[in-house]
Amino acid sequence: MEQIVKPDAINLEDDAVVILWEDAHRSPFPHRFLRLRCPCASCVDEMSGKRTLDPDTVPQDVKAVDQMPVGAYGVQFLWSDTHYTGIYTYKVLRAACICIICAEARAQAEKKAGS
C-alpha cells in the first residue's frame, strides 16, 4: 500500500495556501488555483469526472479563509466566495504541487514516458 505524505502545517497566507509536508517539502498554492480545482460534486460531474465549474464565476481575488482536516486523508477549505464542500485529499494536493522541484520532476517523467 502506498504511503501518503501528510502535512505538518497548512498556512493560509495572503497570496497562497502553503502546505508544509512531513517530509519537509513546501507546496505554495495560489488561492484561486486551488479553488478552481475543487473536487466537490458541484464543481465536478460525479459520473464523468468532467469539471463543471465555470472559472468566470470564481472571483479573481478568492481566498481560503479557513480550513479543517478531514479524517487522516484530506482537508476542506472555506472560501471567501462561501464555497466549502470540496474535500482535497493530501495525495491530490501533493501531486498538484506547482513548485519548481515538482514541475521539473513532472517534466522529466513526461519526457521519459514520451521516449
- The domain spanning residue 82 has which CATH number? 3.30.2020.30
**pTM for this entry:** 0.89
> Tens digits of per-residue pLDDT, 45-81?
999 999 999 999 999 999 999 999 999 999 999 999 9
Structurally, the chain folds into a number of domains equal to 1
On whether residue 1 sits in a domain, the answer given is no
Rounded CA separation 93/24 (Å): 15
On whether residue 2 sits in a domain, the answer given is no
The whole-chain average pLDDT of the chain stands at 95
> Bridge-partner residues for 78, per DSSP?
66
Q: Maximum CA pair distance of the chain? A: 45
Statement: residue 105 has pLDDT above 80: yes
Burial of 10 (0-12, 13-18, 19+ CB in 10 A): buried
Please report the pLDDT score of residue 1 as a whole number.
59
Range of the domain at 46: 7-114
